[in-house]
């Protein structure tokens, strides 16, 4: 395994990486800014690269290592302006696993949207959506299923260009419609964070393909237009599937053009076959962009207004109130867990 990575020049020695300040720390990993010393044919050169280094918070085992190696081998040939490159891996002597990626000046899209100091217009939000659609179109045409698309898994460079990232659960399969992935060792706690972005067929039957990514893309667009509000408000993770199966959908964001929201509803079709492809989405979003007048696109998107309007949308919604009030005991949660992983 390591020899293959060396042959592909994807394996780095810990002495090649200088770790600097911590950028973010979460439950699963810590991200630091760093500098990578580049080698050419095994020899150090004068070139140094600003990088971000993700350190997994748990020690890796053989299974973890193989998963990340497989992921890296999928990602190594992906080259697109809207897809984040993965530079390589480092297995440290203390059993820590480091994932090396280019440093993104503006970090993740979710954090950027929620920052009140960032003045964002409708035009800029549509640009984010266009970039995201192009990145996902490229991945789908390369038979890569993302499985974990959300605003926090999109990065922003210094030019505010979206880079689709976080391929930790991605798969590559030439027969997408037949794809079925079973990951029975993943805990409910680990998966719960993504439930509100996940297509119903994926939650029920663990089926993932480009059409389930389209569902998640619809939620991503909704996040962008609300400046990263939490999908489905106060509905708990274990009640989301019931809500969407009974016809519940995310409401139209305040600043979202009607044409765009109509497109989102097609992304959330209960039948995967009736959802658009990413190529169709790129074309439709371009048409919507052209069709929205410049005055509307120049409007600044207020974070406060976006959130207030979002909360009002759920008022007097009986289905929402019903699902929000659902209580499940521990045994029911375990049952849900076994049917969603």
Residue 210 and residue 254 share a domain: yes
Residue 97 and residue 113 share a domain: no
Q: What is the pLDDT of residues 169-208, one digit of tens each?
A: 566 655 443 333 333 223 333 344 489 999 999 999 999 9
CATH code of the domain in which 194 resides? 1.10.510.10
Residue 275 and residue 142 share a domain: yes
Query: For residue 333, what pLDDT band results from cuts at 50, 70 and 90?
Result: very low
Which residue, of 102, 118, 151, is where some domain finishes? 102
Residue 46 and residue 116 share a domain: no
Whole domain around residue 233: which residue ranges?
109-338
Count: domains in the chain: 2
> Would you state the pLDDT for residue 58?
65
The C-alpha angle 251, 256, 260, rounded to 5 degrees, equals 90
> Would you state the pLDDT for residue 29?
77
The Cα 66–Cα 60 span in angstroms is 10
Short-list 182, 153, 156, 179, CA closest to 167: 153
Which residue, of 58, 86, 102, is where some domain finishes? 102
Residue 65 and residue 126 share a domain: no
Which residue, of 102, 135, 153, is where some domain finishes? 102
The Cα 31–Cα 52 span in angstroms is 7
Residue 91 and residue 162 share a domain: no
> Would you state the pLDDT for residue 57?
65
Look at the chain and count its residues.
Answer: 341
Q: What is the pLDDT of residues 50-75, one digit of tens each?
A: 999 988 766 666 776 677 677 777 77
Beta carbons of 87 and 51 less than 8 angstroms apart? yes
Q: Cβ–Cβ contacts within 10 Å for residue 88, how many? A: 20
| Total-model pTM | 0.84
Percent of the chain with pLDDT over 70: 78
Residue 131 and residue 18 share a domain: no
Percent of the chain with pLDDT over 90: 54
Q: What is the pLDDT of residues 110-166, one digit of tens each?
A: 999 999 999 999 999 999 999 999 999 999 999 999 999 999 999 999 999 999 998
Residue 164 and residue 82 share a domain: no
């Amino acid at each position: 395994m390591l020899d293959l990575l060396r042959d592909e020049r994807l394996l780095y020695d810990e002495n090649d990486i200088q770790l600097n300040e911590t950028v973010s720390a979460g439950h699963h990993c810590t991200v630091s800014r760093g500098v990578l010393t580049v080698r050419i044919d095994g020899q150090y050169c004068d070139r140094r690269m600003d990088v971000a280094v993700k350190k997994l918070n748990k020690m890796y085992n053989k299974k973890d290592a193989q998963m990340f190696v497989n992921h890296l081998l999928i990602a190594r040939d992906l080259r697109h302006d809207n897809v984040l490159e993965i530079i390589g891996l480092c297995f440290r002597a203390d059993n820590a696993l480091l994932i090396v990626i280019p440093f993104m000046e503006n970090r993740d899209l979710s954090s950027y949207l929620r920052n009140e100091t960032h003045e964002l217009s409708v035009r800029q939000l549509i640009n984010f959506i266009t970039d995201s659609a192009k990145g996902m179109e490229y991945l789908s045409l390369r038979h890569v299923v993302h499985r974990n698309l959300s605003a926090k898994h999109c990065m922003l460079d210094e030019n505010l260009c979206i880079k689709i990232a976080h391929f930790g659960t991605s798969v590559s399969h030439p027969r997408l419609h037949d794809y079925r992935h079973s990951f029975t060792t993943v805990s409910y706690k680990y998966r719960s964070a993504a439930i509100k972005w996940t297509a119903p067929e994926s939650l029920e039957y663990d089926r993932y393909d480009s059409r389930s990514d389209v569902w998640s893309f619809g939620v991503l667009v909704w996040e962008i237009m609300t400046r990263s509000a939490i999908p489905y408000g106060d509905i708990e993770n274990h009640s989301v599937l019931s809500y969407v199966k009974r016809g519940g959908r995310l409401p139209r964001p305040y600043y979202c053009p009607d044409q765009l929201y109509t497109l989102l509803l097609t992304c959330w079709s209960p039948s995967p076959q009736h959802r658009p492809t990413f190529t169709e989405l790129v074309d439709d979003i371009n048409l919507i962009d052209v069709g929205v007048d410049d005055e509307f696109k120049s409007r600044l998107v207020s974070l406060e207004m976006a959130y207030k309007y979002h909360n009002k949308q759920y008022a007097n919604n009986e289905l929402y109130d019903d699902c929000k009030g659902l209580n499940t005991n521990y045994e029911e949660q375990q049952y849900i867990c076994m049917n969603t992983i």
